[in-house]
Amino acid sequence: MAILITGGCGYIGSHTCIEMLDAGYDIVVIDNYYNSKPEALRRVKEISGKEFPFYECDIRDAEGLRKVFSAHKIEAVIHFAGLKAVGESVREPLMYYDNNVAGTVVLCQVMAEMGCKRIIFSSSATVYGTGNPSPLKEEMPTGAVTNPYGRTKFMIEGILADLCVSDPEWSAVLLRYFNPIGAHESGHIGEDPNGIPNNLMPYISQVAIGKLQKLSVFGDDYDTPDGTGVRDYIHVVDLARGHVKAVGYALEHNGVEAINLGTGVGYSVLDLVNAFKSANSVDVPYAIAPRRDGDVATCYSDPAKAAALLGWKAEKNVEDMCRDTWRWQSQNPKGYDE
Ligand code: NAD
Ligand code: UFG
């Protein structure tokens, strides 16, 4: 019996592979390398000291998926595969609906056909949209999203919920991630964004290493303690461990559950810049810039449901997140391209 990990070569997927292997699970990984490189899984094998099967396969390729499900007894699927760039989704909405939504439909069709009805899905705090106050709780209304990427997450949550209603054998855990940052403490795997990063932490670390000149802080006039945006940053290894717990839960329970994975604590942009500087004794030049379209002032989780249902809570602090990001960045200035 094995767990299939789609998109397992990516940032969160590669860290989850390690935690799943450490927890004693057999895994099978698929990825189409759209946003990742084979080197990531080579390093996962090196760190874990374990081998596992990998298939270069697109989740929209039903025939390819059938081969994987026929070759292995798959008990459950952790489904990371998807596109995640908010700005790109505004420019290329059909690409996002095709890859994320249609891809998930094909995956679920093949799963049902092959008798595997347990899925852990990578959702996002973005489904809470603009109308809810933090701390965000799972029972709050969702769907007031501000871009096509967020809409794919909202739509897929609905599709998986419908599936669980239609057939009581299905189990779907919708994990709503807050802001994953950090890297494996070995410094051998981490986030390797293409081009100029969109997200705060990879931007900070590329400024610190001198690849980028200075950070633009998007707005200092929000209604927050220092005026800059507040987010719930979570260490990617904590997040990965949340998936291990979610697999255990999905193997024991049917039906659908949405669960936040966050720390419950908010840090501002300047808090994170200062934490990074002091954890790593590096400079991070920045300048205040206009607000970025679509950003909310404050977004952090209520993590109580994850504690109650999964017995999981984040254990690493912001200093760990900053130190581990820097170890990865400084040991791999070109990411996996060495
Ligand atoms: P990532 O891009 O590093 O990983 C996604 C992986 O999926 C990549 O390796 C990519 O090549 C693969 N992939 C994409 N489309 C595919 C397809 N059609 N078939 C097969 N493989 C495909 O991203 P990540 O940060 O690891 O995110 C993983 C998941 O978590 C995504 O679904 C993302 O939307 C979600 N998520 C991420 C964040 C974040 O801030 N990183 C926040 C909330 C949710
Ligand atoms: N920020 C800057 N400068 C930058 C980049 C970001 O000031 O160069 C600020 C943003 O304005 C925001 C904070 O840093 O206040 C965090 O921004 P990120 O882009 O790192 O993260 P977001 O919270 O905007 O978005 C993330 C994921 C999305 C996901 C969302 C869910 O990238 O995929 O969380 O809330 F949908």
Q: What are the start-end ranges of the H helices in 219-265?
A: 236-252
Cα 163 to middle of ligand 2, angstroms: 31
Q: How many other C-beta atoms are found inside a 10 Å radius of the C-beta of residue 53?
A: 14
Which ligand 2 atom minimizes the distance to the CA of 128?
Answer: 35
- Nearest ligand, measured from the Cα of 298: 2
233 is catalytic: no
> What is the model's pLDDT at position 294?
87
Selecting among 25, 149, 177, 249, the annotated active-site residue is 149
**Cβ of 33 less than 6 Å from ligand 1:** yes
Cα 247 to middle of ligand 2, angstroms: 28
> What is the model's pLDDT at position 337?
87
Q: Record the tokens describing residue 200, joined without a space.
A: 């705060």
Q: Is this model's pTM higher than 0.75 or not? A: yes
Measured distance CA(207)–CA(76) in Å, rounded: 40
Give me the tens of pLDDT residue by residue for the chain, a chain 338 residues long: 999 999 999 999 999 999 999 999 999 999 999 999 999 999 999 999 999 999 999 999 999 999 999 999 999 999 999 999 999 999 999 999 999 999 999 999 999 999 999 999 999 999 999 999 999 999 999 999 999 999 999 999 999 999 999 999 999 999 999 999 999 999 999 999 989 999 999 999 999 999 999 999 999 999 999 999 999 999 999 999 999 999 999 999 999 999 999 999 999 999 999 999 999 999 999 999 999 988 999 999 999 999 999 999 999 999 999 999 999 999 999 999 86
Looking at residue 125, what DSSP letter applies?
A: G
Q: Record the tokens describing residue 240, joined without a space.
A: 């990965």
Give 211: exposed, middle or buried? Use CB within 10 Å, 0-12, 13-18, 19+.
middle
